[in-house]
Structures are given as structure tokens and as C-alpha cells.
């Protein structure tokens, strides 16, 4: 069965990873930095998280992932945080976020559902074609 953003998000391992990334990014008006990672799946459909190196206040570098794979496993989703809650910062995904997913030929795997962007109030999804939509309340995701 093909994966959907909802089915990926319903996985307890994924929810715990999103929460951990949020906490690690030290969210607040000052002092936050972006964190992120890949959700990968093996042939037995086991889900695993591969975190990216720590990002900067307003950006994060995505490790190489040729053919929508990393460590030999299929990437089914990616995620990063928007931890800066001050008014100067965009909470929802911006143009750079949309382009980064849409224009990445290595984020076009058959089971890749898109990139989750975690803000304080809302978890957004950037789809592989660069569309943005709200998927859930952040607190609902963190509740497990």
C-alpha cells in the first residue's frame, strides 16, 4: 500500500522523532536553531530516523541522499523545525523550503510523501511538487 503523509505521521517512532527534533532545536523567541532528519523504511517496512547535522538559526543543510536513499534505505519523508517563534520569522514553510523539496531530484522516490515542517503551533507538509498544507496541530503530534 502506498504511504501517505498521514500514515507516516501516525507512526509512533516518527512522532517521537519530530518531538525530539523540536526540543533539540531550543525553540523560543531567541536562541533557536533548525534540526531535521529523514524517515527511512527498510524492505520489511521498519521505520527508522536518520537525523541531519545541527542547523543554523534559519537554515539547515540536508546530507546527500542520491536516488531518494540514504544508508541504502528508502527515504519516505523528511522533516525540519522552525524553532524561532518571534514575529521576525516565518512559521510556515517559505519559498526556500518549497524550492528545496520541489527542485530536489533526489526527493522524488515512489514512497516519498514530502517534508514535514514543525512550527510551534502547526505541522506543515511540503509536498514533492512544492505545495504547502497544514497536516496537524503540533501538540497533537507530540501527544503521541
Binders of Zn ion: how many residues, by CB under 5 A? Answer: 1
Nearest partner of 47 among 132, 111, 139, judged by Cα: 111
Report the nearest approach of Zn ion to the CB of residue 2 (Å): 26
Q: How many other C-beta atoms lie within 10 A of the C-beta of residue 58?
A: 16
- Pick between residue 74 and residue 97 the one whose CB is nearest to Zn ion: 97
- Pick between residue 19 and residue 98 the one whose CB is nearest to Zn ion: 98
Q: Which residue is nearest to Zn ion (CB)?
A: 97
- Of residues 47-106, which lie at the interface with Zn ion (CB under 5 A)? 97
Judged by CB under 5 A, does residue 115 bind Zn ion?
Answer: no
Q: Are 107 and 34 in contact (CB under 8 A)?
A: no
H-only helix segments in 40-137: 95-102
Cell digits of residue 61 = 543543510
Residues that bind Zn ion (CB under 5 A): 97
Amino acid at each position: 500500500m502506498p504511504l501517505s503523509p498521514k500514515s507516516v505521521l501516525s507512526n509512533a517512532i516518527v512522532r517521537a522523532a519530530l518531538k525530539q527534533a523540536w526540543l533539540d532545536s531550543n525553540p523560543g523567541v531567541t536562541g533557536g536553531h533548525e534540526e531535521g532528519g529523514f524517515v527511512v523504511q527498510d524492505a520489511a517496512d521498519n521505520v527508522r530516523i536518520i537525523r541531519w547535522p545541527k542547523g543554523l538559526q534559519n537554515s539547515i543543510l540536508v546530507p546527500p541522499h542520491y536516488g531518494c536513499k540514504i544508508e541504502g534505505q528508502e527515504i519516505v519523508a523528511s522533516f525540519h523545525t522552525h524553532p524561532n517563534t518571534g514575529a521576525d520569522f516565518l512559521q510556515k514553510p517559505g519559498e526556500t523550503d518549497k524550492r528545496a523539496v520541489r527542485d530536489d531530484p533526489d526527493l522524488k522516490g515512489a514512497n516519498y510523501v514530502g517534508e514535514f515542517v514543525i512550527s510551534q503551533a502547526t505541522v506543515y507538509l511540503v509536498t514533492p511538487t512544492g505545495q504547502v498544507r497544514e497536516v496537524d496541530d503540533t501538540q497533537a503530534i507530540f501527544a503521541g
